[in-house]
Structure 1
Amino acid sequence: MDEAEDLETLGEKLYNLILPKHKENAGKLTGMLLELPGPVLSQMLQDKAMLTAALEKALRALQLAQDPSKGTCKDEDDMSASSDSLGEQLFELVDVYNTGYSQKITGMLLEQHKDAVSNLLSDPKLLEEQVNFALKTLKEQNMEETDISDTSDADDTERLGEKIFSLVEEMDPLHANDITGMLLEMEPAALQQLISDHTMLEVAVQKAQAALDTQNQPLST
């Protein structure tokens, strides 16, 4: 019951924000936005730019649903243009869900028959189901990729070693081998960070150089 009450409260707040600018479609637009996850809606109430962007996308979807004739085509050029516009419209609707995978999900949905894609544009419920399903599939694929990468740790370390060596060689060609060997004792995730952050790499190299200097110093008698 709490969730229903929360949704009702969010709906009222959204409606009050939408009404001044979109009197005719305020109810429909509020209904479309309420399909989004609760946390996204809460964020929209605090972030006007985010709400405006979502409203623009919802408005375009409404216009398309009210005037599907825009999607009709007569020859092959029109066919490809119409497919492009379908993709753009679908992307805008998918993007509202803030999944982080808008581009990939749109691509997956566009593999369906054109009529099925048109149905998604005019049926928010169906679109939500398909977006959730595509998101689940993508996350499962990512997990599988992680499993596969675990089995090839040796290859990854070798590749990381080569990258680190080439970067270290630019800073200290004389000790590049020794320094790379020392850095490769770090975790792969930390090594990835060194490759992408030059400042961090410089600090790590300086530490390794200091350690090497200490090792090479003759023992005082």
Structure 2
Amino acid sequence: MDEEEDLEALGEQLYNLIYPKHAEIAGKLTGMLLELPGPVLSQMLQDEAMLAGALEKALRALHLAQESSKASCKDEDDVSASSDSLGEQLFELVDVYNTGHSQKITGMLLEQHKDAVLNLLSDPALLEEQVNLALTALKEQSVEETDVSDSSDADDTERLGEKLFSLVEELDPVHANDITGMLLEMEPAALIQMLSDHAMLEVAVQKAQAALQT
């Protein structure tokens, strides 16, 4: 308790010295200086030059913290606003296709990297392709849940397989058929992401190649 009372007394003395020149931020500056060791504070109360130097450092630190905070808030606001805006723009474009799954498809497409989403907004052909792939994946999920298959779903799977095969063939033309078959056993949502993420596809192909070798 004695130490707390001593610190409080030092704080009051510091505040009284700081207030005349820095009324608006006297509380903050006092709080910053009170983080210094007790003996240093006691000496500071007796030495005006030492106090002025400490105040100058505290003011500089406070200024930098405020600038950093402003920049950080601005960046967060920009990212948040742009993300919300991207989602809204994408939903409006996806909704045009009247799939009955606009919300789900938009959510799936928004899982991609921001640059990929921006490409979708500026390239109608690419967007249509991605919407069809997402719709295929949703139908695949629906088929798995209900355990019912029909010719249209088979066609969708075939289209997905063809697109996948053409990409796999570039990486491993010898084992393209086997690898594509293995990849098609994955979740439809993962396959769609793989079609737009080359790095992810390469990793999956490498795993399949390793499995084939064993």
Q: Same fold (TM over 0.5)?
A: no
* TM-score bucket (shorter structure): 0.3 to 0.5
TM-score normalised to the size of structure 1?
0.40
Higher CA-based Rg = 2
